[in-house]
Structure 1
Amino acid sequence: MSYLSYRDARMSLPSSSKPRKTLRSPNRDIAFRNQYIARSKTTLVLRPFGSPQSAVAYKITEEDGTPQFTVTGRKYSDRSCREFRDSSGLPLFELHRKWYRTNSWSVSLPGCDTATIATGSPRWALGKTSFGDFNLSFENAAAFGGKRLDEKMLTLNIERHGNALAFFDIVDGDRKVAEVKESIHHNERLALLGPKIGYRPAMDVIIMPGVDISLVATVAVIVSDWVFGSS
Protein backbone atom coordinates (compact mmCIF):
# COMPACT_ATOMS: atom_id res chain seq x y z
CA MET A 1 0.00 0.00 0.00
CA SER A 2 2.86 2.41 0.56
CA TYR A 3 3.35 2.94 -3.18
CA LEU A 4 -0.27 3.23 -4.23
CA SER A 5 -1.55 6.62 -5.21
CA TYR A 6 -3.93 8.43 -2.91
CA ARG A 7 -6.71 7.80 -5.43
CA ASP A 8 -5.95 4.09 -5.73
CA ALA A 9 -5.75 3.72 -1.97
CA ARG A 10 -9.29 5.02 -1.67
CA MET A 11 -10.99 3.55 -4.67
CA SER A 12 -9.66 0.04 -4.01
CA LEU A 13 -11.50 -0.11 -0.69
CA PRO A 14 -15.11 -1.34 -0.71
CA SER A 15 -17.37 0.75 1.48
CA SER A 16 -19.64 -0.70 4.13
CA SER A 17 -23.23 -1.35 3.11
CA LYS A 18 -24.40 -0.64 6.65
CA PRO A 19 -26.37 2.55 7.26
CA ARG A 20 -24.40 5.14 9.17
CA LYS A 21 -25.43 6.05 12.68
CA THR A 22 -25.80 9.62 13.90
CA LEU A 23 -23.29 11.02 16.37
CA ARG A 24 -24.38 10.64 20.00
CA SER A 25 -22.61 10.81 23.33
CA PRO A 26 -22.00 7.46 25.04
CA ASN A 27 -24.21 6.48 27.98
CA ARG A 28 -21.06 6.51 30.21
CA ASP A 29 -17.58 7.97 29.79
CA ILE A 30 -15.07 6.07 27.62
CA ALA A 31 -11.34 6.56 28.08
CA PHE A 32 -7.74 5.39 27.94
CA ARG A 33 -6.88 8.40 30.11
CA ASN A 34 -9.54 10.25 32.07
CA GLN A 35 -7.87 13.66 31.79
CA TYR A 36 -8.54 13.68 28.04
CA ILE A 37 -12.30 13.04 28.17
CA ALA A 38 -14.09 15.66 26.03
CA ARG A 39 -16.71 17.70 27.88
CA SER A 40 -18.14 19.24 24.72
CA LYS A 41 -18.23 18.17 21.09
CA THR A 42 -14.64 18.46 19.88
CA THR A 43 -13.06 18.53 16.44
CA LEU A 44 -9.36 17.79 15.97
CA VAL A 45 -7.26 17.59 12.83
CA LEU A 46 -4.72 14.84 12.18
CA ARG A 47 -1.99 16.10 9.86
CA PRO A 48 0.71 13.78 8.47
CA PHE A 49 4.20 15.31 8.36
CA GLY A 50 7.27 14.38 6.35
CA SER A 51 7.63 10.72 5.46
CA PRO A 52 5.90 8.00 7.50
CA GLN A 53 9.26 7.46 9.25
CA SER A 54 9.92 11.11 10.13
CA ALA A 55 10.76 12.24 13.66
CA VAL A 56 7.21 13.58 13.78
CA ALA A 57 4.93 11.47 11.58
CA TYR A 58 1.67 13.11 12.71
CA LYS A 59 0.52 16.24 14.48
CA ILE A 60 -2.92 16.31 16.04
CA THR A 61 -4.25 19.79 16.69
CA GLU A 62 -7.41 21.69 17.43
CA GLU A 63 -9.06 23.30 14.42
CA ASP A 64 -7.24 26.58 15.10
CA GLY A 65 -3.87 24.78 15.06
CA THR A 66 -3.37 24.53 18.83
CA PRO A 67 -1.26 21.39 19.44
CA GLN A 68 -2.77 18.43 21.29
CA PHE A 69 -0.56 15.44 20.43
CA THR A 70 2.40 14.45 18.29
CA VAL A 71 3.15 10.94 17.04
CA THR A 72 6.65 9.80 16.06
CA GLY A 73 7.70 7.72 13.07
CA ARG A 74 8.71 4.15 13.81
CA LYS A 75 12.41 4.48 13.10
CA TYR A 76 12.62 7.08 15.87
CA SER A 77 11.61 4.48 18.44
CA ASP A 78 14.12 1.82 19.42
CA ARG A 79 11.28 -0.69 19.70
CA SER A 80 9.61 -0.06 16.32
CA CYS A 81 6.48 1.62 17.57
CA ARG A 82 4.81 4.99 17.29
CA GLU A 83 5.13 7.14 20.41
CA PHE A 84 2.24 9.43 21.33
CA ARG A 85 3.27 12.57 23.20
CA ASP A 86 1.23 15.38 24.71
CA SER A 87 1.52 19.02 23.66
CA SER A 88 4.52 19.51 25.98
CA GLY A 89 6.38 16.50 24.57
CA LEU A 90 5.79 14.10 27.47
CA PRO A 91 5.12 10.48 26.42
CA LEU A 92 1.56 9.18 26.83
CA PHE A 93 1.59 5.72 25.29
CA GLU A 94 2.89 3.68 22.36
CA LEU A 95 1.19 2.12 19.36
CA HIS A 96 2.62 -1.20 18.18
CA ARG A 97 1.68 -2.85 14.90
CA LYS A 98 2.03 -6.60 14.45
CA TRP A 99 2.24 -8.41 11.14
CA TYR A 100 1.87 -12.08 12.13
CA ARG A 101 -0.71 -13.56 9.70
CA THR A 102 -2.74 -10.36 9.68
CA ASN A 103 -2.54 -6.82 10.99
CA SER A 104 -3.12 -6.25 14.67
CA TRP A 105 -2.30 -3.43 17.02
CA SER A 106 -1.59 -2.90 20.69
CA VAL A 107 -1.38 0.24 22.79
CA SER A 108 0.99 0.13 25.75
CA LEU A 109 2.36 2.36 28.46
CA PRO A 110 5.53 4.30 27.53
CA GLY A 111 8.66 2.15 27.45
CA CYS A 112 6.90 -1.11 28.23
CA ASP A 113 5.23 -2.97 25.38
CA THR A 114 4.00 -5.67 27.79
CA ALA A 115 1.93 -3.14 29.78
CA THR A 116 -0.91 -3.28 27.26
CA ILE A 117 -3.87 -0.97 27.67
CA ALA A 118 -5.66 -1.75 24.38
CA THR A 119 -5.61 -4.20 21.48
CA GLY A 120 -7.00 -3.89 17.98
CA SER A 121 -7.69 -6.40 15.22
CA PRO A 122 -9.41 -6.32 11.80
CA ARG A 123 -12.91 -7.70 11.50
CA TRP A 124 -13.52 -10.61 9.18
CA ALA A 125 -16.35 -10.82 6.67
CA LEU A 126 -16.96 -13.70 4.25
CA GLY A 127 -13.63 -15.28 5.17
CA LYS A 128 -11.46 -12.21 4.69
CA THR A 129 -10.70 -8.97 6.41
CA SER A 130 -12.92 -6.02 5.58
CA PHE A 131 -10.28 -3.42 4.79
CA GLY A 132 -10.60 -0.52 7.21
CA ASP A 133 -13.00 -2.23 9.65
CA PHE A 134 -11.56 -3.27 13.01
CA ASN A 135 -12.29 -3.64 16.71
CA LEU A 136 -10.49 -1.89 19.56
CA SER A 137 -10.71 -3.52 23.01
CA PHE A 138 -9.48 -1.97 26.26
CA GLU A 139 -10.11 -1.56 29.96
CA ASN A 140 -12.24 1.52 30.28
CA ALA A 141 -10.31 3.86 32.58
CA ALA A 142 -13.50 5.85 33.18
CA ALA A 143 -15.35 2.84 34.68
CA PHE A 144 -16.09 3.04 38.38
CA GLY A 145 -13.40 1.53 40.59
CA GLY A 146 -15.77 -0.96 42.23
CA LYS A 147 -16.50 -2.81 39.00
CA ARG A 148 -14.96 -6.17 38.17
CA LEU A 149 -12.35 -6.23 35.42
CA ASP A 150 -14.72 -7.96 32.99
CA GLU A 151 -17.25 -5.18 33.56
CA LYS A 152 -14.61 -2.57 32.75
CA MET A 153 -13.62 -4.19 29.44
CA LEU A 154 -15.02 -2.42 26.40
CA THR A 155 -14.85 -3.07 22.66
CA LEU A 156 -15.47 -0.32 20.09
CA ASN A 157 -16.26 -1.16 16.47
CA ILE A 158 -14.61 0.96 13.78
CA GLU A 159 -16.65 0.89 10.55
CA ARG A 160 -15.38 2.20 7.23
CA HIS A 161 -17.79 3.96 4.87
CA GLY A 162 -17.51 5.92 1.65
CA ASN A 163 -15.63 5.75 -1.65
CA ALA A 164 -15.21 9.32 -2.85
CA LEU A 165 -14.15 10.21 0.68
CA ALA A 166 -13.31 7.74 3.45
CA PHE A 167 -15.25 7.88 6.73
CA PHE A 168 -14.54 5.78 9.81
CA ASP A 169 -17.31 5.58 12.40
CA ILE A 170 -16.37 4.67 15.99
CA VAL A 171 -19.31 2.75 17.38
CA ASP A 172 -20.10 1.86 20.99
CA GLY A 173 -23.03 -0.56 20.94
CA ASP A 174 -25.80 1.26 19.08
CA ARG A 175 -24.11 4.69 19.24
CA LYS A 176 -21.57 6.37 17.00
CA VAL A 177 -19.53 8.28 19.57
CA ALA A 178 -16.83 9.66 17.25
CA GLU A 179 -15.80 9.68 13.61
CA VAL A 180 -12.63 10.11 11.58
CA LYS A 181 -12.96 11.33 8.01
CA GLU A 182 -10.85 12.68 5.19
CA SER A 183 -10.82 16.43 5.50
CA ILE A 184 -12.00 18.55 2.60
CA HIS A 185 -10.82 21.79 4.20
CA HIS A 186 -7.35 20.65 5.29
CA ASN A 187 -6.20 18.58 2.31
CA GLU A 188 -4.20 19.93 -0.62
CA ARG A 189 -6.37 18.11 -3.17
CA LEU A 190 -9.09 15.52 -3.51
CA ALA A 191 -8.11 12.08 -4.66
CA LEU A 192 -10.39 12.00 -7.68
CA LEU A 193 -8.45 14.84 -9.27
CA GLY A 194 -5.61 12.45 -9.98
CA PRO A 195 -2.97 10.19 -8.43
CA LYS A 196 -0.26 11.47 -6.15
CA ILE A 197 2.35 8.98 -4.98
CA GLY A 198 2.84 8.84 -1.23
CA TYR A 199 0.08 11.34 -0.44
CA ARG A 200 -1.49 10.88 2.99
CA PRO A 201 -4.67 12.84 3.66
CA ALA A 202 -5.33 15.05 6.65
CA MET A 203 -8.23 13.73 8.71
CA ASP A 204 -10.96 15.49 10.66
CA VAL A 205 -11.51 13.81 14.03
CA ILE A 206 -14.89 14.50 15.64
CA ILE A 207 -15.43 13.42 19.26
CA MET A 208 -18.63 13.55 21.29
CA PRO A 209 -18.72 14.57 24.97
CA GLY A 210 -17.77 11.72 27.27
CA VAL A 211 -15.12 10.24 24.96
CA ASP A 212 -11.34 10.41 25.44
CA ILE A 213 -9.79 12.45 22.64
CA SER A 214 -6.47 10.56 22.92
CA LEU A 215 -8.32 7.28 22.31
CA VAL A 216 -9.94 8.62 19.14
CA ALA A 217 -6.62 10.13 18.02
CA THR A 218 -5.17 6.61 18.28
CA VAL A 219 -7.93 5.28 16.03
CA ALA A 220 -7.15 8.05 13.52
CA VAL A 221 -3.46 7.06 13.40
CA ILE A 222 -4.35 3.37 12.96
CA VAL A 223 -6.64 4.05 10.00
CA SER A 224 -4.10 6.40 8.39
CA ASP A 225 -1.33 3.82 8.80
CA TRP A 226 -3.40 0.87 7.63
CA VAL A 227 -5.63 2.32 4.93
CA PHE A 228 -3.29 4.89 3.43
CA GLY A 229 -0.09 2.86 3.75
CA SER A 230 1.85 5.01 6.21
CA SER A 231 3.96 2.15 7.47
Structure 2
Amino acid sequence: LHKDGNRWRWVNKPLGIDDTFTFLDESTLPYGPMEYITRQTQGDFAVLDQRDDNLWMDAGMVTTQADWSLDFDIGMNFFEWHAPVPKANEMGIFVRALKFLLNIQQGQPARRLNWTMTVNPLLDTSPENYHKWGTMKQELTKENIGEKQHLRVELQTFFRLPRSNALVFPIRCYLIRFEDLVTVPKWARRLHRVIRDLPEELATYKGFIDNRPLMVEYLSQFDDGSPTSDGIWADD
Protein backbone atom coordinates (compact mmCIF):
# COMPACT_ATOMS: atom_id res chain seq x y z
CA LEU A 1 0.00 0.00 0.00
CA HIS A 2 1.48 3.32 -1.12
CA LYS A 3 0.08 6.58 0.29
CA ASP A 4 0.39 10.03 -1.25
CA GLY A 5 -1.95 12.19 0.80
CA ASN A 6 -5.44 10.86 0.06
CA ARG A 7 -4.20 9.30 -3.16
CA TRP A 8 -3.54 5.65 -2.37
CA ARG A 9 -2.23 2.83 -4.52
CA TRP A 10 -2.85 -0.82 -3.68
CA VAL A 11 -0.78 -3.55 -5.36
CA ASN A 12 -1.58 -7.26 -4.98
CA LYS A 13 1.02 -9.07 -7.04
CA PRO A 14 -0.31 -12.65 -6.64
CA LEU A 15 -3.71 -11.60 -7.99
CA GLY A 16 -2.38 -9.09 -10.53
CA ILE A 17 -4.23 -6.14 -8.94
CA ASP A 18 -2.85 -2.60 -9.19
CA ASP A 19 -5.48 -0.02 -8.21
CA THR A 20 -5.22 3.66 -7.39
CA PHE A 21 -8.05 5.22 -5.40
CA THR A 22 -8.93 8.20 -3.21
CA PHE A 23 -9.01 7.47 0.51
CA LEU A 24 -12.56 7.78 1.96
CA ASP A 25 -14.10 7.99 -1.53
CA GLU A 26 -15.45 4.50 -2.12
CA SER A 27 -16.70 5.50 -5.58
CA THR A 28 -13.06 5.25 -6.69
CA LEU A 29 -12.99 1.52 -5.84
CA PRO A 30 -14.56 -1.22 -7.96
CA TYR A 31 -16.45 -2.49 -4.85
CA GLY A 32 -17.19 -1.19 -1.39
CA PRO A 33 -14.06 -1.11 0.80
CA MET A 34 -14.84 -4.26 2.82
CA GLU A 35 -15.87 -6.29 -0.21
CA TYR A 36 -12.85 -5.02 -2.13
CA ILE A 37 -10.27 -6.23 0.38
CA THR A 38 -12.00 -9.43 1.50
CA ARG A 39 -12.28 -10.61 -2.11
CA GLN A 40 -8.48 -10.77 -1.97
CA THR A 41 -8.20 -12.76 1.25
CA GLN A 42 -8.89 -16.27 2.51
CA GLY A 43 -11.41 -17.07 5.19
CA ASP A 44 -14.51 -15.33 6.52
CA PHE A 45 -14.78 -11.81 7.89
CA ALA A 46 -17.37 -10.12 10.09
CA VAL A 47 -17.44 -6.56 11.39
CA LEU A 48 -18.69 -6.29 14.97
CA ASP A 49 -19.72 -2.79 15.98
CA GLN A 50 -19.42 -1.91 19.67
CA ARG A 51 -22.40 -0.03 21.10
CA ASP A 52 -24.71 -0.26 24.12
CA ASP A 53 -22.08 -2.34 25.94
CA ASN A 54 -22.50 -5.10 23.36
CA LEU A 55 -21.20 -6.26 20.00
CA TRP A 56 -23.45 -6.22 16.95
CA MET A 57 -22.81 -8.13 13.74
CA ASP A 58 -23.21 -5.33 11.23
CA ALA A 59 -21.41 -6.65 8.15
CA GLY A 60 -19.67 -9.70 6.79
CA MET A 61 -18.09 -11.48 3.85
CA VAL A 62 -18.29 -15.24 4.26
CA THR A 63 -17.75 -18.34 2.14
CA THR A 64 -16.93 -21.03 4.72
CA GLN A 65 -19.76 -20.91 7.26
CA ALA A 66 -19.95 -23.97 9.54
CA ASP A 67 -23.59 -24.50 10.54
CA TRP A 68 -24.36 -20.81 10.85
CA SER A 69 -25.80 -18.21 8.51
CA LEU A 70 -24.59 -14.64 8.07
CA ASP A 71 -27.91 -13.72 6.46
CA PHE A 72 -29.69 -14.92 9.61
CA ASP A 73 -27.27 -13.48 12.17
CA ILE A 74 -26.72 -10.06 10.59
CA GLY A 75 -28.00 -7.32 12.89
CA MET A 76 -27.94 -9.56 15.99
CA ASN A 77 -25.96 -8.82 19.12
CA PHE A 78 -23.37 -11.09 20.73
CA PHE A 79 -25.85 -12.94 22.96
CA GLU A 80 -28.43 -13.37 20.21
CA TRP A 81 -26.17 -15.02 17.64
CA HIS A 82 -24.72 -17.31 20.34
CA ALA A 83 -28.14 -18.27 21.70
CA PRO A 84 -28.16 -21.78 20.11
CA VAL A 85 -24.99 -22.84 21.98
CA PRO A 86 -25.98 -25.15 24.87
CA LYS A 87 -24.66 -24.84 28.44
CA ALA A 88 -22.36 -21.86 27.82
CA ASN A 89 -24.88 -19.15 28.67
CA GLU A 90 -25.96 -20.85 31.89
CA MET A 91 -22.30 -21.18 32.90
CA GLY A 92 -21.71 -17.45 32.36
CA ILE A 93 -19.15 -18.07 29.63
CA PHE A 94 -20.61 -15.55 27.19
CA VAL A 95 -20.78 -12.76 29.77
CA ARG A 96 -17.07 -13.22 30.47
CA ALA A 97 -16.24 -13.57 26.76
CA LEU A 98 -18.07 -10.36 25.88
CA LYS A 99 -16.31 -8.46 28.66
CA PHE A 100 -12.97 -9.66 27.29
CA LEU A 101 -13.81 -8.74 23.69
CA LEU A 102 -15.07 -5.26 24.60
CA ASN A 103 -11.67 -4.53 26.14
CA ILE A 104 -9.54 -5.52 23.14
CA GLN A 105 -7.27 -2.60 22.31
CA GLN A 106 -5.89 -1.33 19.03
CA GLY A 107 -2.65 -3.09 18.16
CA GLN A 108 -3.35 -5.90 20.63
CA PRO A 109 -5.41 -8.50 18.75
CA ALA A 110 -6.71 -11.67 20.37
CA ARG A 111 -7.42 -15.11 18.99
CA ARG A 112 -9.16 -18.33 19.91
CA LEU A 113 -9.80 -21.77 18.43
CA ASN A 114 -13.14 -23.41 17.75
CA TRP A 115 -13.85 -26.89 16.38
CA THR A 116 -16.55 -29.06 14.90
CA MET A 117 -16.86 -32.03 12.54
CA THR A 118 -17.38 -32.15 8.78
CA VAL A 119 -18.00 -35.11 6.48
CA ASN A 120 -15.85 -34.73 3.35
CA PRO A 121 -13.44 -31.80 2.91
CA LEU A 122 -16.10 -29.11 2.60
CA LEU A 123 -15.54 -25.55 3.82
CA ASP A 124 -19.07 -24.27 3.15
CA THR A 125 -21.48 -26.14 5.41
CA SER A 126 -23.97 -23.29 5.78
CA PRO A 127 -27.67 -23.87 6.48
CA GLU A 128 -28.47 -22.46 3.05
CA ASN A 129 -26.55 -25.34 1.47
CA TYR A 130 -27.67 -28.09 3.84
CA HIS A 131 -29.40 -29.87 0.97
CA LYS A 132 -25.95 -30.36 -0.59
CA TRP A 133 -23.96 -31.55 2.43
CA GLY A 134 -26.46 -32.72 5.04
CA THR A 135 -27.09 -36.11 3.46
CA MET A 136 -23.34 -36.82 3.35
CA LYS A 137 -23.45 -37.58 7.08
CA GLN A 138 -25.43 -40.70 6.22
CA GLU A 139 -22.63 -42.00 3.99
CA LEU A 140 -20.26 -42.82 6.86
CA THR A 141 -19.39 -46.48 7.44
CA LYS A 142 -16.76 -48.35 9.43
CA GLU A 143 -14.83 -48.74 6.20
CA ASN A 144 -14.78 -45.11 5.06
CA ILE A 145 -14.93 -43.02 8.24
CA GLY A 146 -11.15 -42.57 8.34
CA GLU A 147 -11.21 -41.01 4.89
CA LYS A 148 -14.48 -39.08 4.99
CA GLN A 149 -14.73 -37.77 8.56
CA HIS A 150 -12.80 -34.55 9.14
CA LEU A 151 -11.98 -32.54 12.22
CA ARG A 152 -12.62 -28.89 11.42
CA VAL A 153 -10.67 -26.27 13.38
CA GLU A 154 -11.35 -22.56 13.10
CA LEU A 155 -8.71 -19.98 13.95
CA GLN A 156 -10.70 -16.92 15.03
CA THR A 157 -9.01 -13.56 15.53
CA PHE A 158 -10.21 -10.17 16.73
CA PHE A 159 -8.68 -6.85 15.66
CA ARG A 160 -9.75 -3.41 16.88
CA LEU A 161 -10.21 -1.04 13.93
CA PRO A 162 -8.61 2.38 14.50
CA ARG A 163 -11.20 4.66 12.87
CA SER A 164 -14.54 3.06 13.74
CA ASN A 165 -13.46 1.28 16.97
CA ALA A 166 -15.34 -1.78 15.71
CA LEU A 167 -13.86 -5.27 15.84
CA VAL A 168 -13.03 -7.11 12.65
CA PHE A 169 -13.49 -10.84 13.16
CA PRO A 170 -11.65 -13.10 10.66
CA ILE A 171 -12.24 -16.86 10.70
CA ARG A 172 -9.81 -19.21 8.96
CA CYS A 173 -10.78 -22.88 8.67
CA TYR A 174 -8.58 -25.98 8.56
CA LEU A 175 -9.67 -29.59 7.89
CA ILE A 176 -7.89 -32.87 8.62
CA ARG A 177 -9.08 -36.40 7.87
CA PHE A 178 -9.34 -38.83 10.76
CA GLU A 179 -6.90 -41.18 9.06
CA ASP A 180 -4.30 -38.41 8.93
CA LEU A 181 -5.01 -37.13 12.43
CA VAL A 182 -4.48 -40.53 14.05
CA THR A 183 -0.92 -40.69 12.72
CA VAL A 184 -0.10 -38.42 15.70
CA PRO A 185 -0.70 -40.67 18.74
CA LYS A 186 -1.39 -37.78 21.13
CA TRP A 187 -4.05 -36.31 18.87
CA ALA A 188 -5.67 -39.71 18.32
CA ARG A 189 -5.93 -40.43 22.04
CA ARG A 190 -7.21 -36.98 22.92
CA LEU A 191 -9.80 -36.78 20.15
CA HIS A 192 -11.15 -40.20 21.09
CA ARG A 193 -11.69 -39.07 24.67
CA VAL A 194 -13.20 -35.72 23.71
CA ILE A 195 -15.72 -37.25 21.31
CA ARG A 196 -16.53 -40.07 23.74
CA ASP A 197 -17.04 -37.81 26.77
CA LEU A 198 -18.59 -34.72 25.20
CA PRO A 199 -22.02 -33.94 26.69
CA GLU A 200 -24.87 -35.05 24.45
CA GLU A 201 -26.15 -31.48 24.08
CA LEU A 202 -22.83 -30.32 22.62
CA ALA A 203 -22.49 -33.29 20.29
CA THR A 204 -25.99 -32.51 19.04
CA TYR A 205 -25.21 -28.81 18.63
CA LYS A 206 -22.04 -29.62 16.69
CA GLY A 207 -24.05 -31.89 14.42
CA PHE A 208 -22.37 -35.28 14.90
CA ILE A 209 -24.54 -36.95 17.54
CA ASP A 210 -25.80 -39.60 15.10
CA ASN A 211 -22.31 -40.55 13.95
CA ARG A 212 -20.64 -40.35 17.35
CA PRO A 213 -20.71 -44.13 17.92
CA LEU A 214 -18.88 -44.68 14.62
CA MET A 215 -16.30 -42.01 15.50
CA VAL A 216 -15.68 -43.42 18.97
CA GLU A 217 -15.34 -46.96 17.61
CA TYR A 218 -12.84 -45.87 14.97
CA LEU A 219 -10.77 -43.67 17.29
CA SER A 220 -10.76 -46.14 20.19
CA GLN A 221 -8.37 -48.45 18.35
CA PHE A 222 -5.73 -45.69 18.52
CA ASP A 223 -6.17 -44.97 22.23
CA ASP A 224 -3.91 -47.10 24.44
CA GLY A 225 -4.99 -45.34 27.62
CA SER A 226 -1.77 -43.39 28.04
CA PRO A 227 -1.95 -39.84 29.40
CA THR A 228 -1.52 -36.95 26.99
CA SER A 229 0.70 -33.96 27.62
CA ASP A 230 -0.60 -30.41 27.87
CA GLY A 231 -0.95 -28.27 24.79
CA ILE A 232 -1.58 -29.12 21.15
CA TRP A 233 1.91 -30.16 20.11
CA ALA A 234 2.80 -33.77 19.36
CA ASP A 235 4.81 -35.59 22.01
CA ASP A 236 7.53 -36.77 19.60
- The answer, yes or no, to whether TM exceeds 0.5 is no
Provide the TM-score with structure 1 as the length reference.
0.27
> TM-score, structure 2 length as denominator?
0.26
- Which protein has the larger Cα radius of gyration, Structure 1 or Structure 2? 2
Question: Which structure has greater helix proportion?
Answer: 2
The answer to which structure, 1 or 2, has the higher relative contact order (CA under 8 A, 6+ apart) is: 1
Structure having the larger proportion of residues in strand = 1
